[in-house]
Structure 1
Amino acid sequence: MTVTAPAPPKTRRVVFPFTAIVGQEEMKLALLLNVIDPKVGGVMIMGDRGTGKSTTIRALADLLPEIEVIADDPFNSDPTDPELMSDEVRQKVTDGISLNTVQKKVIMVDLPLGATEDRVCGTIDIEKALSEGVKAFEPGLLAKANRGILYVDEVNLLDDHLVDVLLDSAASGWNTVEREGISIRHPARFVLVGSGNPEEGELRPQLLDRFGMHAEIRTVREPALRVQIVEQRAEFDRDPQAFCEQHQSEQDALQERLIQARDLLPQVNLDYDLRVNISEVCSELNVDGLRGDIVTNRAAKALAAFEGRTEATVDDIRRTIVLCLRHRLRKDPLEAIDSGYKVEKAFNRVFGIESSEES
């Protein structure tokens, strides 16, 4: 049995509303689809400086509905799903011990560039383990990020080994720390979001491939739109609370839509012939492995769920396939990432819509 405590009053600093962000539709769509189905595998956002990458990700975390967690648990354990519980909580649930739960905002963990592996994964106190016979574990950022969002700005400047650790945890949903024969593991299921500026170097292709989606964002060029963005930011800075209240109804509507999409997702079907066509596109583009096929299937279903449908369509695939495949075409680290032209061309041919080049 669990006892639920109400969420604490809002004392957090005000965050720019997600629904007020102008443009950058590709990035927003990729983030929303990952929130609906975290198994899509995260998003890599590459683009110019000052295009609102960090603002958008913080806004997304603020938009998400509160989650129920076990009180005073460092891993944000879910009271009902064993896959999202720490071993200690799972044992208590198995033994029928009553646990208190609280409502909590989804956490966004910002990974600093200079973070060490111990800070990311957590550490085991060997002395305490040997002298007291207990597994003394100091949780790291992966523990804090469980059931939340892990954001790595300038991920292309992060040590490759650390990127590997993050991607392994994101893929398996677990983090394992081993030292001197002592092993501890805990749930680490999070939406991994990386961002970077292409001028500072790309990720190696084999690391890039591990991200589910790749969104490209560019500086807005239309003067009228730029003015709108600047004015909105000035209005927010002048009175953040009032600005957020203006957008509260849109925020609530989008939050409700995300909740409904998550509930609907297990019922969404993607026709067999469409799945074959997706794999044919991947094969024609010479995409290594099967990640591209899997992610495109998941993203198309997530988009259908987001729009309240139980049947994914060719249009759902068209709107997600570039995001899922463009970063998987690079074989040479010095080669630029495809803008989407090659993927669109292959999609149009396989799906028999060569005539509608504008799509």
Structure 2
Amino acid sequence: MLDEGASKNPSTPGAGFADVVGQGKLKRALSIVAVDDALSGVLVRGEKGTGKSTLARALAGYLPRRRVVADCPFGCPPTDRDRQCPDCRRRACVPVERRPAPFVTLPLGATREALVGSLSVADALDGAASFEPGLLARANRGVLYVDEVNLLDDHLVDVVLDAAAAGRNTVERDGVSRTHPAEFTLVGTMNPEEGDLRPQLRDRFDLAVDVTGLRETADRVAVVDRALGRDGADTGTRADGDSDDAGGDPDPGARIAGARERLADVTLPDAFVRDLVELCRDAGVDGHRADIAAARAARTLAALDGRSRAIEGDVREAASWALPHRLRTDPFEDAADPEELIDDRLGDDRTEGAADGDGSHGDGSDSDESHGDERAPDEDTPEPDAEGGSGDSDA
């Protein structure tokens, strides 16, 4: 049986965001990549023992349920032929079912064949190749998670980069090839003390979050209490204001499901778009991925908070995750301070209700026209169940 990495540092059964004290920023970043499939992923950097891997794996319980072709190993969407595998496209009618989005772990010791899949040599010689799907196939329309991603072998990094760029994976052997969809959200955790990440892979993460250990005594006591299973443990009051779950909601799954439904109706004022692109340009980042990632993240943060319009707080938070890991470093110069760059561009000089009437302040609750990057109400849009959560694993 193919090892998907479930045995490596397995998470606590039933673990959720609330099982980790603090780390509200990370919980929030993981939530928004579960809301917006257009965000390519999130990189989590931090010291050992800060809950990075536990929270990343907890995301599996909050992923949405999707409509899929029931007998397709790639979980193709039933109505979107452009995203289907060749076999599904050839069929006039397909069986449909709903299942949770996949969460697949890529172990550091995986082989290339385990990642991309394999073609049977004997069958290939007979002209009827038998394809065994790999991890990329299983992660289609879900999450591909890599713990200690900075230690991943270069030959596997190349495969992941190719699949992430193309949205498809091709396997070739003895003149026979097989192509299938491979669209996934990439989640990686790493300890910077153990080595850096290849720039090409680092740039593929739309967002990056840095986490540190808790400093307040009450918080550290709460961590010990939870580890020991002590009842009535006081979680303390954290200096950074982080709550024990994403946004203080006891049901992150329901919150994510609701945000997915309203995302297409969230608007990002033009003034904020200009601020973001000028911020990224002045910071000297390559290309336009930072601009696009920050804009998408700002809209998604608004949707997560139940607003139809992004506000300045969303833009600042999104920029703080989309920009820092892309800043250029010069060994002969001090590294730029991301917070200073953001403050310079998104300072407090903006007045309430900008002159152009873009509504860039306030609670953002007023309705507006949908942003051009709309999500079609297809099989990726959740249908809340009786409990309202998106992580229900029932068939």
1:91 maps onto 2:73 in alignment: no
Q: Report how many residues are paired.
A: 325
Would the alpha carbon gap of residues 329 and 13 (structure 1) be closer, same or farther in structure 2, given more than 3 Å must change? Answer: closer
Which of the numbers 180, 186, 190 marks the counterpart of 2:180? 186
Report the Cα distance in structure 2 between the residues aligned to 1:252 and 1:83, rounded to whole angstroms: 38
Deviation at 1:98, TM superposition (A): 4.4
Higher helix fraction: Structure 1 or Structure 2? 1
Are 2:71 and 1:76 equivalent residues in the alignment?
A: no
Distance 1:75 1:236, change over 3 A: farther
Equivalent residue number for residue 34 of structure 2: 35
What code does the residue aligned with 1:173 have?
A: G
* 2:40/2:184 contact within 8 Å kept: no
**1:26–1:167 distance in 2 versus 1, CA, 3 Å:** farther
Which residue number in structure 2 is paired with residue 240 of structure 1? none
Asked whether the equivalents of residues 74 and 137 of structure 2 are also in contact (C-alpha less than 8 Å), the reply is yes
Q: Map of 1:323-334 to 2, 5 A cutoff?
A: 323-331=321-329
The 10-residue stretch of structure 1 (267-276 or 47-56) with the greater mean CA deviation from structure 2: 267-276
Do 1:41 and 1:171's aligned partners in 2 also have CA atoms closer than 8 Å?
no
Let me know the Cα RMSD of the aligned residues. 2.7
Instruction: Kindly report which structure 2 residues correspond to 1:54-133, keeping only aligned pairs within 5 A, or say none.
Output: 54-92=53-91, 95=92, 97-99=93-95, 101-131=96-126, 133=127
Alignment of 1:173-322 (within 5 A): 173-235=167-229, 253-322=251-320
Worse-matched range after superposition: 68-77 or 118-127: 68-77
AA aligned opposite 1:326:
P
User: Bigger CA drift: 303-312 or 285-294?
Assistant: 303-312
Does the CA-based 8 Å contact 1:62-1:106 persist in structure 2?
Answer: no
Letter of the 1:134 partner, please give it: A
Moved more, 220-229 or 291-300: 220-229
TM-score, normalised to structure 1, is: 0.82
CA distance in 2, matches of 1:335, 1:13: 45
TM-score by length of 2: 0.75
Cα distance change on mapping 1:348 and 1:62 into 2, 3 Å: same
User: Which residue in 1 is equivalent to 2:23?
Assistant: 24
Question: SS of the residue aligned with 1:185?
Answer: strand
Q: Deviations over 1:285-335 (max 9, x none)?
A: 111111111111111111111112221122111111111010101345x79
How far apart, in 2, do the equivalents of 1:251 and 1:91 lie? 44
Alpha-carbon shift at residue 354 of structure 1 (Å): 7.0
Deviation at 1:162, TM superposition (A): 1.5
Q: Distance in 2 between matches of 1:198 and 1:35?
A: 25
Structure 1 gap ranges (5+): 1-11, 238-246
Q: Compute the displacement of 1:337 (Å).
A: 11
Give the 3-state SS of the residue equivalent to 2:38 in structure 1: helix
Q: In the superposition, relative to structure 1, how do residues 66 and 230 fare at CA in structure 2: closer, same or farther (>3 Å)?
A: farther
Cα distance between partner residues in 2 of 1:178 and 1:337 = 47
For residue 324 of structure 1, what is the amino acid of its counterpart?
Answer: A
**Structure 2 counterpart of 1:117, which letter?**
R
Deviation at 1:143, TM superposition (A): 0.6
- Separation in 2, partners of 1:182, 1:55: 40
State the 1:202 CA deviation: 0.6
Quote the offset at 1:183 in angstroms.
Answer: 2.5
Per the alignment, residue 164 of structure 1 pairs with 158
> Could you tell me how far 1:84 is from its partner in structure 2?
4.2
The answer on whether the counterparts of 2:78 and 2:94 sit within 8 Å (CA) in structure 1 is no
Q: 1:314 to 1:13 in 2, by over 3 A?
A: closer
SS in 2 for 1:38: coil
Residue identity opposite 1:292 in structure 2:
A
Q: Is the 8 A contact 1:205 1:331 kept in 2?
A: no
Question: Hey, what's the Cα distance between the residues in 2 that align with 1:130 and 1:336?
Answer: 59
- From 96, 112, 132, give the equivalent of 1:138: 132
Q: Deviations over 1:40-94 (max 9, x none)?
A: 21111111111111211121111224333333422122223334432212222xx
Distance in structure 1 (CA, Å) of the matches to 2:69 and 2:137: 14
SS in 2 for 1:73: coil
1:151 to 2:150 alignment? no
CA distance in 1, matches of 2:30, 2:346: 26
